[in-house]
Chain A
Amino acid sequence: MSAENSTSKETPNPAADGSELIRFDGVMKRFGSNVVLDHLDFTVSSGKHVTLIGPSGSGKTTILRLLMTLLKPDEGTIKVGGEYLTHEERNGKLVPAGETHIREVRKNIGMVFQQFNLFPNMGVLRNITEAPVHVLGLSKDEAEERARELVELVGLTEHLDKYPSQLSGGQQQRVAIARALAMRPQVLLLDEVTSALDPELVAGVLDVLRDIAHTTDITMLVVTHEMNFARDISDDVLMFDAGRVIESGSPEKMFSDPEHERTREFLSAVL
Chain B
Amino acid sequence: MSDEQPVYSEKVMEHFRNPRNVGEMESPDGIGHVGNPVCGDIMELYIRVVDHVITDARFKTFGCGAAIATSSMVTELVKGKTIEEALELSNRAVAEALGGLPPIKMHCSVLAEEALKSAIEDYLQKHPKPDSA
Do A and B come from the same complex?
no
